[in-house]
Amino acid sequence: MEKIKVVIIGMGRMGKTRYDAMKRHGGYDIIGLCDTDPARGIYYKEPFYSDWKLCIDQCHADAVIVCTYNVVIPDIVCYALKKGCAVFSEKPPGRNLADTLKMQKACEGSICKILKFGFNHRYHNSVIEAKALVDSGILGDVVCARGVYGKAGTPAFPSEWRNDRAISGGGIMLDQGIHMLDLMYYFMGKFTDIQSSVNQLVWKDMDTEDSVFSILHTEDGKVASLHSSAIQWRHKFSLDLICSEGFISLNGLLTSTMSYGEERLTYYKKDLECKTGGLGQPIEHTMCFDTDESWDYEMKEFYDAVVRGKPVLQGTIGDAVNLMEMLEGIYHKNSIMQAE
Amino acid sequence: MLKAYDYAEPGKRAELRDAGLFRQEKQIAQQFVLEHPSERQSISCPICGSIKTKYIFERWDVNYRLCDDCKSIFVAVDDSILQEYLGLKSMKNLRVSSKYQQQASERRTDIWMDFVSWAEYRVFRYLGRNRGLRVIDFGNRYVKSVELFRSSKMTAEYELRDSILPIETASVNEADLVLYLNQLQHEADPIESLLQIGKCLSEDGLLILNTRLGSGFDILTLKGGTEDIFPYEHIMLPSAKGLKLILDKAGYELLEITTPGTRDLDVVMKNKERIEEANFFIKYLIDTADCTTIADFQQFLQKSGLSSFAQVIAKKKD
């Protein structure tokens, strides 16, 4: 198997997740790691840097994996692209649309032109199956959607870097809700008309929002409601897709903590004549999944883009720009965000 | 790995068969079996080859054996007898009769429509397309089911092969989709049969197979007491493990195996007097559980791969 030389910038939880996925893949030769906390280096045998620029300059990698705080993502991505590297970066694609556009420009001006963002939810088995179900045509078109993505929170939640707006750019919506927004965009297309309520309902002293309710419309009249919450007080993932001929529900998500519940997809066909069951009880089909291969699928796609010249399919810079435009639309209504 | 289950509110399922016609089918089979007893002495497992097999139950003096290694259940029957049974004119006449077909159509059309819809979905999942397919349907003996598959949006060319039905179809040399539904149960050598079927499957084509499983709840609970399992109609009841082994040995890569059967508990409840005395828990469950508990238990069986009906999608190994 042809190997690509990579460095990982940022060796926190996501850096380690990507490191493990690349090791499992077998096509990645990890030649350098970087983190501002040198203590993290003791877990790895690869050369360890504390300066990302030095790491990229000295390692001469084919690809750079960016797993840092949001605030530094654009600088690292743009620098790596300029150096001719392919780049895989964690979401969000910067703190705001301006950051994303900056990376888009850098990508367009680069030799390699491979830039992929990590929206791993698209690679969860339930989402893969739901996408196939929608595209198979048996349930008609998706006409509207309801999504809830919620976190339990922790005692230290308000003081986490994710809620330091200077570093993160936004709160729960940008950190976690962006996955739900991405999935809705994946199934329904771009939302152009956005209404939202962005609030601090409980964590009042935080720098960012703890709750977002948003109603989103596409140009062709599809509607979605999204609730991104840091005050769910447990982990919750739920996405309903209402189709013209049936219904799909995604519930639970397999993660490393196993705290979002069993990952399940349930669907049924519209049955107005009650042929399959009683009134209001059409026969449901449910699929459950006990493995999360999303990280592996994602790293495989990136590898195939770099080595085999295949196009990046998910998490493109185009997707990133669209998502950040929609996020700006959501935050635009936000009194917290507008205050500054 | 994908696990799947279907869910219907308890108490909604109609009988799949007309009782009178089913009785006739069994009478024909029984008469033939009694006149043609199983003569093969070989008792090694036709799936894994293990000689560690033991008697598990008997039907009409025919012994069903359980493989200790792969846990499949089978009947060792002489091939000439089996072929004679499969070509039995009286059975064929009954099954192609308009009454039989009409009854089947009335009871199963919704199930078949749901299955076709499911197939359209799963084919898209693995092929990335579900239009313009060349389909070979092996052994389908229901006119309505043939009609539904033939007229499905996914089907461009359709061949009905090895069927008792007098339906003329075009010949398909290489199929994108092979349907092998409820056929494995009367295969003495399922590995060889699937090897042969593989020859008419295109490189990236799909095999959709369904079968009764010997490792399923109703079959193991009732053993010979299962009314709808009889020789030589059912001589091969692979376990889930056995089914995987058959596919592997026949050169297939398993894409998914699920057990979405909905009737294990119904069958056991209907035959509860045949539950062995020593099976205290199951007797207690069947005697005391309410319909919600029964439905939940069936769901558990489906999800855990323990129902006696399996659905498989496979493709040829690269």
111-130 in A: which are within 8 Å (CB) of B? 125, 129
Instruction: Answer for the pair A200, A229: CB distance below 8 angstroms, yes or no.
Output: no
DSSP state of B14: P
Confidence of residue B12 (pLDDT cuts 50, 70, 90): low
Q: What percent of chain B has pLDDT over 70?
A: 96
Q: The tokens of B210 are what?
A: 């369904």
Tell me which architecture the domain covering A4-118 has in CATH. Answer: 3-Layer(aba) Sandwich (3.40)
In one letter, which amino acid is B182? Answer: N
For chain A, which ranges sit under pLDDT 50?
Answer: 335-340
pLDDT tens digit string along B286-296? Answer: 999 998 999 99
pLDDT tens digit string along A51-101? Answer: 999 999 999 999 999 999 999 999 999 999 999 999 999 999 999 999 999
What residues have CB less than 8 Å from A293, skipping those under 6 apart?
A123, A125
Task: Identify the residue among A124, A138, A263, A270 best suited for mutation to test binding to B, counting B beta carbons within 10 A and taking the highest.
Answer: A138
Pairing mode of beta strands A211-218, A4-9: unpaired
In this prediction, residue A280 carries a pLDDT of 84
Q: Is A270 on the interface with B (CB under 8 A)?
A: no
B87, containing H or E segment: none
Secondary structure class of B153 (helix, strand, coil): coil
| DSSP codes joined into one string, A286-318 | EEEE----HHHHHHHHHHHHHHH-PPP-SS-HH
d(CA B318, nearest CA chain A) in Å: 18
Instruction: Answer for the pair A324, A94: CB distance below 8 angstroms, yes or no.
Output: yes
Q: Do B121 and A287 touch (CB under 8 A)?
A: no
Tell me the domain boundaries of chain B: 19-316
In this prediction, residue A340 carries a pLDDT of 40
Please compute the mean of the pLDDT values over residues B1-18 and round it to a whole number. Answer: 72
Instruction: Answer for the pair A118, A94: CB distance below 8 angstroms, yes or no.
Output: no
Q: Which residues of B touch A (CB under 8 A)?
A: 1-9, 12, 110, 114, 117-118, 120-121, 123-125, 130, 153, 260, 303
Q: Quote the strand ranges of B68-200, DSSP E.
A: 73-74, 133-138, 155-161, 175-181
Q: How many CA atoms lie within 13 A of B291 on its CB side?
A: 6
A133 to chain B: closest CA residue: B121
pLDDT at B241 over 50: yes
Quickly tell me which residue has 């205050």 as its tokens.
A339
Chain B contacts of A129, Cβ < 8 Å? 2, 125
Q: Is A109 on the interface with B (CB under 8 A)?
A: no
CATH of domain B19-316: 3.40.50.150
Chain A contacts of B124, Cβ < 8 Å? 132, 135-137
Mean pLDDT over the full length of chain B = 93
Secondary structure class of B77 (helix, strand, coil): coil
Residue A303 CB neighbours (<10 A): 24
Please compute the mean of the pLDDT values over residues B247-271 and round it to a whole number. Answer: 94
Q: With a threshold of 0.90, does the pTM exceed it?
A: yes
The CATH homologous superfamily to which domain A121-290+323-338 belongs is: Dihydrodipicolinate Reductase; domain 2 (3.30.360.10)
Q: Do B4 and A288 touch (CB under 8 A)?
A: yes
- The dihedral of CA A40, A42, A44, A47: what is its sign? positive
Q: Do A281 and B9 touch (CB under 8 A)?
A: yes
In this prediction, residue A255 carries a pLDDT of 87
d(CA A134, nearest CA chain B) in Å: 9
Q: Do A287 and B9 touch (CB under 8 A)?
A: no
Residues B21, B24, B25, B29, Cα dihedral to 10°: 170
Q: What does the longest C-alpha to C-alpha distance in chain A come to? A: 68
Q: What percent of chain B has pLDDT over 90?
A: 85
Tell me the domain boundaries of chain A: 4-118, 121-290+323-338
Q: Do A132 and B125 touch (CB under 8 A)?
A: yes
Nearest Cα residue to A230 out of A251, A201, A252: A201
- Among A233-237, A324-328, B227-231, B235-239, where is mean pLDDT lowest? B227-231
Q: Is A132 on the interface with B (CB under 8 A)?
A: yes
Q: Is A208 on the interface with B (CB under 8 A)?
A: no
Q: Do B9 and A135 touch (CB under 8 A)?
A: no
Q: The tokens of B253 are what?
A: 């890569």
In this prediction, residue B166 carries a pLDDT of 94
Q: Do B8 and A286 touch (CB under 8 A)?
A: no
B3 to chain A: closest CA residue: A288
B11 vs A285, higher pLDDT: A285
Q: How many CA atoms lie within 13 A of A263 on its CB side?
A: 23
In this prediction, residue B16 carries a pLDDT of 84
In this prediction, residue A333 carries a pLDDT of 60
**Can A4-118 and A121-290+323-338 be said to share one CATH topology?**
no
B40 vs B285, higher pLDDT: B285
Q: Do B125 and A276 touch (CB under 8 A)?
A: no
